[in-house]
Amino acid sequence: MNNFIYDIPTRVYFGENQLGNLGPELSRFGKRVLLCYGGGSIKKTGLYDKVVAEIKNAGLELFELSGIDPNPRVSSVNAGADICKKEHIDVLLAVGGGSVIDCTKYIGAAAYYDGDAWDILLQKVPVEKCLPVITVLTLSATGSEMDAAGVISNPETKDKIGLIFPPMQPKVSFLDPTNTYTVSPYQTACGAADILSHIIEVYFNVNQDLQMLDGVMEVLMKTVIKYAPLAMKEPDNYEARANLMWASSWAINGFVNGGKRQAWSCHPMEHELSAFYDITHGLGLAILTPRWLAYTLNETTVSKFYQFGVNVFGIDAALPPMEVAHKSIELLSEFLFKTLGLKSTLTEIGIDDANFTVMAKKAVTGGTMHAFQPLAAEDIEKIFRMCQVK
Amino acid sequence: MNNFIYDIPTRVYFGENQLGNLGPELSRFGKRVLLCYGGGSIKKTGLYDKVVAEIKNAGLELFELSGIDPNPRVSSVNAGADICKKEHIDVLLAVGGGSVIDCTKYIGAAAYYDGDAWDILLQKVPVEKCLPVITVLTLSATGSEMDAAGVISNPETKDKIGLIFPPMQPKVSFLDPTNTYTVSPYQTACGAADILSHIIEVYFNVNQDLQMLDGVMEVLMKTVIKYAPLAMKEPDNYEARANLMWASSWAINGFVNGGKRQAWSCHPMEHELSAFYDITHGLGLAILTPRWLAYTLNETTVSKFYQFGVNVFGIDAALPPMEVAHKSIELLSEFLFKTLGLKSTLTEIGIDDANFTVMAKKAVTGGTMHAFQPLAAEDIEKIFRMCQVK
């Protein structure tokens, strides 16, 4: 059993109408606030006005960076860092989903660096400091609201890099399930696939540490499987949105890892897909995950699939393990592609095999040789091919 | 669904041989360390020497308070606070179980108060500051290593009071399962009963908030049921000790509450038993819990018992709910009194009905009227009587 350090200091205000706490929380860190957001959906929903009112009421000075893209770009990080330096920003407020929060984290780090922020992603410079980040979450998916990770894309080099730097951990996050009522069924489905993938990447692990955490992961997966379809059908179902939201944070804030050390598999592969084709992260993960599972299933790994099938999908424990394993992959596929209604192949979303070889080579640099099943570039290319229409 | 604030900033070093981090962590807060411990078992196990070596290696100045009792007394709090004031202590280091940690927390609070520390327990003075507390845990039970609560006894008044003050939250805790290898089977059993009780007090709740947290609580209960007997049988089973240890922290650090607001029932009752008779907390809880459950079971509450029976004890879901409910209480009793081997009645541990009326009256001041089933003093007296040999 591996040792680990548990350290999740983010304070979370969970529930409706908690924004009254935003002003005091921002004020702990200073007077000058940079509000970071995306394409303006928060203006349509009225959340922008609410947040700005709280900032003004608290007597704080407001600066803005808008237009942060899904798969956020290093150009946004540089633009935000420039504002921080020029305007002597004290605290960052990210209002949005994982892309906005990820970008804001790197803005906070890049504010202390004078060169191109991409140097941080290339690990040419360490991240020892970060401006304090506070978040108001609008999408249940990446868990960025409660972890120290972030993923940034560089369209020029077709690179998408995700790293973890403890100083980037949000100080405070506001999780109000009603802020996700306007998330479309499709984006809700993609978010659910993302949450599931975060858990599956850890659950399928060679380190059988702390069994209680396997139980917690099974609960989180069952939570997503139960509530994502409900949230798609009834967008303003508070219970469904609340359970999905809290599950998204706990899927990836580090708690379920507890010493289970190993590289992830589907995320490095998906990062190549979205770096090359700018697809939605959760959709890419949905397409990849069942194929990756099928590719890694063998006599050695079958026991984990058996546990997954019995405990998450309720498959009869008396069946032969290999049968349970195959059935668990089928049921996961059925959930992703029928219940959630996501497209099931790369072909359907316009991705052919033109870049499979180069993407596979880049994906292995993410450490996939140290994953649940070691994956070389050839393996990854095969998995990409499994995702095509036959 | 109720709103809530999640805020658990304690950093945890989990696993073996992590004490190398103790010196640097203490040093973050200053040079002058007050080491607090109990009756000296940490000297027998060698843990004392290891801790002192780390303190000396870090160039810190060491002060000591020993002799903190199980059911820690306000006299120890006052003694510790006196040392803090006289020696200008910067940081407190609790090495022990819940009693030592609870006492140390109040020492940290009382260090900023010039009167009798009992005033803090009587809530005559607020706790706005606390010296930083670092813990090295030696018993999996109370969860004090990761929460802001503590219980102190006053033998003169026969009072035992538990309160929560956020400044008392430990900054850092060292959870090394091997430090619990020397815990006797009996104390392991009492600890397991304590952990179970913490979860049961929250699980049996009228607020059906965030179903995922019910799932997490079921996992934690199953973890205790699986690993406590194993730890009793094989005291140096790392896996068993590790799972129990992490479950003890997560049973009561606040995560599973998530807006489930209601007063506890068995803890206020047990605090009277141990205030009057100085019994082991977990043993008192074990005796009380199944009787309290039996007393609260009715047509309105049965659905929660049904969920408990099916999900925790695997009782056939097709049985009538009331049958499942009764069976769940039977199986819990069997676990506590047969598997863990704890005494099952107050009579057997030398407690007669002499003080039932006065204890019941004192217990209701803990807020039991706002519990899962409102409990007046008469109800509590009846539950005490249910705990006698018939």
- Among the three residues B140, B158, B179, which one is the final residue of a domain in this structure? B179
Interface check for A246 against chain B (CB to CB < 8 A): the answer is yes
**In this structure, are B191 and B150 located in the same domain?**
no
Mean pLDDT of chain A: 96
Which residue of A8, A14, A248 to mutate against B (max B Cβ within 10 Å)?
A14
Q: Which residue is closest to A212 within chain B, CA to CA? A: B223
Interface check for B9 against chain A (CB to CB < 8 A): the answer is yes
Q: Which residue is closest to B11 within chain A, CA to CA? A: A7
Interface check for B230 against chain A (CB to CB < 8 A): the answer is no
- In B, residues 47-106, which contact A (CB 8 Å cutoff)? none
Q: Residue B48: pLDDT band by 50, 70, 90 thresholds? A: very high
Contact by Cβ (8 Å): B179, B204: no
**In this structure, are B168 and B200 located in the same domain?**
no
**In this structure, are B357 and B215 located in the same domain?**
yes
**In this structure, are A215 and A338 located in the same domain?**
yes
Interface check for B212 against chain A (CB to CB < 8 A): the answer is yes
DSSP conformation class of B158 = T
Mean pLDDT of chain B: 96
Q: Which residue is closest to B251 within chain A, CA to CA? A: A212
- Taking the CB of residue B54, how many other CB atoms lie within 10 A of it? 20
**Maximum distance among all Cα pairs of chain A, rounded to whole angstroms:** 66
Interface check for A365 against chain B (CB to CB < 8 A): the answer is no
A243 has pLDDT over 90: yes
CA distance A68 to chain B (A): 28
Asked if B12's CB is within 8 angstroms of A7's CB, the reply is yes
Helices (H), chain B: 22-27, 41-45, 47-57, 74-87, 98-110, 118-121, 185-203, 211-233, 238-252, 266-277, 281-296, 302-313, 321-333, 356-364, 377-386
What is the reported pLDDT for A199? 97
Interface check for A216 against chain B (CB to CB < 8 A): the answer is yes
Q: Which residues contact B126 (CB under 8 A, 6 or more apart)?
A: none
Question: What pairs with residue A36 in β-bridges?
Answer: A65, A94
- Can you tell me which residue has the tokens 């003694």? B79
Interface check for B243 against chain A (CB to CB < 8 A): the answer is yes
CA distances from B87 to A317, B48, B52, B78, B82 (A): 62, 21, 18, 14, 8
**In this structure, are B50 and B116 located in the same domain?**
yes
Interface check for A28 against chain B (CB to CB < 8 A): the answer is no
> Quick one: how far is CA A343 from the chain centroid?
19
- Taking the CB of residue B386, how many other CB atoms lie within 10 A of it? 17
A369 has pLDDT over 90: no
In a domain, A4, yes or no: no
pTM to 2 decimals? 0.96
CA distance A172 to chain B (A): 9
**In this structure, are A310 and A170 located in the same domain?**
no
CA-based nearest residue to B136, from B95, B108, B167? B95
Distance CA B275, CA B279 (A): 8
Distance CA B33, CA B124 (A): 28
Buried-exposed string B93-120: b where 16+ CB fall within 10 A, e elsewhere: bbbbbbbbbbbbbbbbbbbbbeebbbeb
Which residue of B178, B195, B211 to mutate against A (max A Cβ within 10 Å)?
B211
pLDDT tens, position by position, B324-333: 999 999 999 9
Chain B residues within an 8 Å CB radius of A7: 11-12
Contact by Cβ (8 Å): B95, B51: yes
- Among the three residues B127, B155, B179, which one is the final residue of a domain in this structure? B179
Picking from A2, A13, A219, the nearest residue to B216 by CB comes out as A219
Q: Residue A3: pLDDT band by 50, 70, 90 thresholds? A: very high
Q: Which residues contact B64 (CB under 8 A, 6 or more apart)?
A: B34, B35, B36, B37
**In this structure, are A239 and A373 located in the same domain?**
yes
What's the average model confidence in pLDDT over B218-239? 98
What is the reported pLDDT for B43? 97
Helices (H), chain A: 22-27, 41-45, 47-57, 74-87, 98-110, 118-121, 185-203, 211-233, 238-252, 266-277, 281-296, 302-313, 321-333, 356-363, 377-386
Q: B284: domain CATH number?
A: 1.20.1090.10
Picking from A2, A11, A243, the nearest residue to B210 by CB comes out as A243
Question: What pairs with residue A383 in β-bridges?
Answer: none
Interface check for A218 against chain B (CB to CB < 8 A): the answer is yes
What is the reported pLDDT for B261? 83
CA distance A54 to chain B (A): 19
What is the reported pLDDT for A207? 83
In a domain, B5, yes or no: no
Contact by Cβ (8 Å): A159, A366: no
Residues of chain B with pLDDT > 90, as a percent, come to 94
Distance CA B127, CA B168 (A): 9
**In this structure, are B161 and B196 located in the same domain?**
no
Picking from B16, B215, B246, the nearest residue to A219 by CB comes out as B215
Q: Residue A261: pLDDT band by 50, 70, 90 thresholds? A: confident
Interface check for B207 against chain A (CB to CB < 8 A): the answer is no
Interface check for A277 against chain B (CB to CB < 8 A): the answer is no
Q: Which residues contact B111 (CB under 8 A, 6 or more apart)?
A: B80, B81, B84, B85, B89, B130, B131
Picking from B2, B12, B17, the nearest residue to A5 by CB comes out as B12
B369 has pLDDT over 90: no
Distance CA A194, CA A141 (A): 6
Distance CA B390, CA B387 (A): 9
What is the reported pLDDT for A346? 98
Q: Residue B40: pLDDT band by 50, 70, 90 thresholds? A: confident
Asked if B2's CB is within 8 angstroms of A7's CB, the reply is no
**In this structure, are B38 and B148 located in the same domain?**
yes
Q: How many CA atoms lie within 13 A of A293 on its CB side?
A: 28
CA distance A25 to chain B (A): 13
What is the reported pLDDT for B390? 75
pLDDT tens, position by position, A204-228: 998 877 999 999 999 999 999 999 9
- Work out how many CB contacts closer than 8 A connect A with B: 100
Q: B78: domain CATH number?
A: 3.40.50.1970
Q: How many CA atoms lie within 13 A of B293 on its CB side?
A: 28
Picking from A1, A17, A246, the nearest residue to B210 by CB comes out as A246
Token representation of residue A103? 């970008």
CA angle (B83, B86, B88) in 5-degree steps: 90
Distance CA B310, CA A314 (A): 14
Distance CA B264, CA B261 (A): 10
Q: Which residues contact B354 (CB under 8 A, 6 or more apart)?
A: none
What is the residue type of A159? D
Interface check for A358 against chain B (CB to CB < 8 A): the answer is no
- Among the three residues B179, B198, B217, which one is the final residue of a domain in this structure? B179
**In this structure, are B37 and B62 located in the same domain?**
yes
Picking from B1, B8, B213, the nearest residue to A239 by CB comes out as B1
CA distances from A112 to A77, A130, A135 (A): 12, 7, 20
Chain B residues within an 8 Å CB radius of A250: 212
Strands B149-154 vs B159-164: parallel, antiparallel or unpaired: antiparallel
Residue B46's domain comprises 11-179
CA distance B195 to chain A (A): 14
Contact by Cβ (8 Å): A142, A98: yes
Picking from B4, B5, B16, the nearest residue to A3 by CB comes out as B16
CA-based nearest residue to B390, from B291, B293, B298? B291
Interface check for A192 against chain B (CB to CB < 8 A): the answer is no
CA distance B223 to chain A (A): 6
Distance CA B375, CA B330 (A): 22
Q: Residue B208: pLDDT band by 50, 70, 90 thresholds? A: confident
In a domain, B232, yes or no: yes
Q: Which residue is closest to A240 within chain B, CA to CA? A: B210
What's the average model confidence in pLDDT over A106-132? 97
What is the residue type of B138? T
> Phi and psi of B34, rounded to 5°?
-100, 115
> Phi and psi of A292, rounded to 5°?
-60, -45
Interface check for B13 against chain A (CB to CB < 8 A): the answer is yes
DSSP string, B329-351: HHHHHIIIIIIS-----TGGGT-
Contact by Cβ (8 Å): A108, A47: no
Asked if A222's CB is within 8 angstroms of B219's CB, the reply is no
Picking from B14, B216, B220, the nearest residue to A4 by CB comes out as B14
Chain A residues within an 8 Å CB radius of B7: 11-12
What is the reported pLDDT for B271? 93
What is the reported pLDDT for A253? 96
pLDDT tens, position by position, A277-290: 999 999 999 999 99
What is the reported pLDDT for B170? 98
In a domain, B235, yes or no: yes
In a domain, A5, yes or no: no
DSSP string, B295-310: HH-STTTHHHHHHHHH
CA distance B176 to chain A (A): 9
Interface check for A4 against chain B (CB to CB < 8 A): the answer is yes
CA distance B3 to chain A (A): 5
Picking from B1, B6, B212, the nearest residue to A220 by CB comes out as B212
In a domain, B270, yes or no: yes
DSSP conformation class of A68 = P
Give the count of domains, chain B. Answer: 2
Chain A residues within an 8 Å CB radius of B145: none
Q: Residue B252: pLDDT band by 50, 70, 90 thresholds? A: very high
What is the reported pLDDT for A267? 95
What is the reported pLDDT for B366? 78
Strand, coil or helix: what is B319? Answer: coil
In a domain, A1, yes or no: no
Asked if A15's CB is within 8 angstroms of B2's CB, the reply is yes
**In this structure, are B174 and B260 located in the same domain?**
no
**In this structure, are A172 and A231 located in the same domain?**
no
What is the reported pLDDT for B236? 98
CA distances from A342 to A84, A186, A240 (A): 39, 8, 19
- Taking the CB of residue A80, how many other CB atoms lie within 10 A of it? 27
In a domain, B105, yes or no: yes
pLDDT tens, position by position, A296-318: 999 999 999 999 999 999 999 99
